[in-house]
Amino acid sequence: MDPIRRAALTYVVYFTAIGASWAYLPVYYRDLGLGLATIGLLSAFSAGIQLVAAPAWGLLSDRYPRSRMGLPAAALVAAVGASLLALSSGSPALPISVAVMSVGLAGIGPVLDARTLELLGDRASRYGEVRAIGSFVFVLVALVVGVLMDRAGTGALFIVYVPALLGTAIAGRRIPRGGGRPRHTARRGVGAVIRAPGILAFLGGALLTWALVTAVNSFYSIQVIALGGSPQLVGVVWAIGAAVEVPVMFGHRRLAERIGPGAVLLLGATAYAVRAGLAAASPDARFLIAIAPLEGLGYGLLFPGSVGFIAARAPSGLGATAQGVLSATFGLSAIVGSALGGIIAGTTSIDTMFAVAAAGGVAGAVLLALAARAPSPMGAAHAPGPGPTSIDPLPVLPDELHP
């Protein structure tokens, strides 16, 4: 099988796991009797682990550039943690289960993204097209799991979640590596990434923006239920957003070439801010469905734009480390967003928290756009191709995987 097809298959299996868990774990925690503030703190705890573990997984992958074991190992650890979580049922062991699961999850996304960028080489600007496959799978799985939870209870999500994580380990093991000797020691790798031109300013903007996104996402599913929706409707809300992500990610490269990467980041962050503002005024669950496409627009522009920005500026040989640093930034933003979101929602209301996130999201959008104006250095590890006229089509993706 072609290497890019193997990476695409891994995204399929991995996002089967994400589709089964992303929208539903907060509902599962709520069903266990946890309060809103506790759910926020639990999400922050998970993100804190990601803050440390994600760069560690990335450094490990870059330190052993010929090894295929990093991604499968991360997926296996996540599967063990998810299995423990399914069995904990609100016992004191629940934080331990979340910790183990979070350590594993921290290593899957950044390493898989970095490996995909390695395989794409000078076609790295096509990353969004490969990544869109995951969003397409997310749509289907989120809908199916929502129906399953309606019939069998919230714990039924683990019937899909755990096997999909195990499948990610198997699929990830088959992605080839072509790296040479490591160019940086683990001790210096993170520092080299952060000192690269424009990255530190970008990470500051990303921290604020994604913290506010996390604050909204952490309680969006709960709000759907609170406004009269069902677990199945929760699946519909997130499936709509993911469905919008697919064409947006496919068009990301062309849009960036037309209006510039900074404008794309500004547009994505603004879409999230508008969504938060509208959600704050939502009268019922149906309105939350109506504005769900804004989530897909925001994520479809903001996430691949962030991955591409830091990949284009990463020092040579530190692609996985750079993605780990980005993932750690997401982790720190999730700590801030989940904790503050839980406190604000718990002391006032979810509506108020959404309104606060909308106001701050505008500032985050501006910071990202300004940071993206920094020029990309020559010789970056995964710099995008020179332009649309010099990039060949992407024939390596099987037709059946296109949404």
Q: Has residue 27 been placed in a domain?
A: yes
Write the pLDDT tens digit of every residue in 331-362. 788 788 878 888 898 889 999 999 999 988 88
Report whether pLDDT(14) > 80: yes
Q: Per-residue DSSP letters for 362-394? A: HHHHHHHHHHTTSPPPTT-TTPPPS-TTS----
Report whether pLDDT(187) > 70: no
Write the pLDDT tens digit of every residue in 110-122. 889 888 888 887 7
Q: Has residue 351 been placed in a domain?
A: yes
Secondary structure class of 228 (helix, strand, coil): coil
Q: d(Cα 205, Cα 267) in Å, to the nearest integer?
A: 14
User: Longest Cα pair distance anywhere in the chain, in angstroms?
Assistant: 58
Q: d(Cα 98, Cα 210) in Å, to the nearest integer?
A: 21
Instruction: Give me the pLDDT at residue 402, please.
Output: 33
Q: Has residue 24 been placed in a domain?
A: yes
Report whether pLDDT(106) > 70: yes
Using CB atoms within 10 Å of the CB of residue 181, give its burial: 0 to 12 exposed, 13 to 18 middle, 19+ buried.
exposed
Q: Has residue 185 been placed in a domain?
A: no
Q: Has residue 134 been placed in a domain?
A: yes
Secondary structure class of 281 (helix, strand, coil): coil
Indicate the number of domains in the chain. 1
Over range 131-139, report the average pLDDT: 84
Instruction: Give me the pLDDT at residue 178, please.
Output: 61
Q: Has residue 60 been placed in a domain?
A: yes
Domain holding 46, by residue range, is: 3-176+190-381
Confidence bin at 376 (pLDDT 50/70/90) = low
Instruction: Give me the pLDDT at residue 99, please.
Output: 94
Q: Find, among 38, 25, 47, the residue nearest to 336 by Cα.
A: 47
Evaluate whether 67 touches 173 at the Cβ level (below 8 Å): no
pLDDT higher at 184 or 240 = 240
Q: Has residue 15 been placed in a domain?
A: yes
Q: Per-residue DSSP letters for 17-70? A: HHHHHTTTHHHHHHHTT--HHHHHHHHHHHHHHHHHHHHHHHHHHHHSTT---H
Write the pLDDT tens digit of every residue in 71-99. 999 999 999 999 999 987 767 789 899 99
Q: What is the CATH number of the domain that holds 154?
A: 1.20.1250.20
pLDDT higher at 293 or 304 = 293
Q: Has residue 281 been placed in a domain?
A: yes
Instruction: Give me the pLDDT at residue 383, please.
Output: 39
Cβ count near 1 (within 10 Å): 10
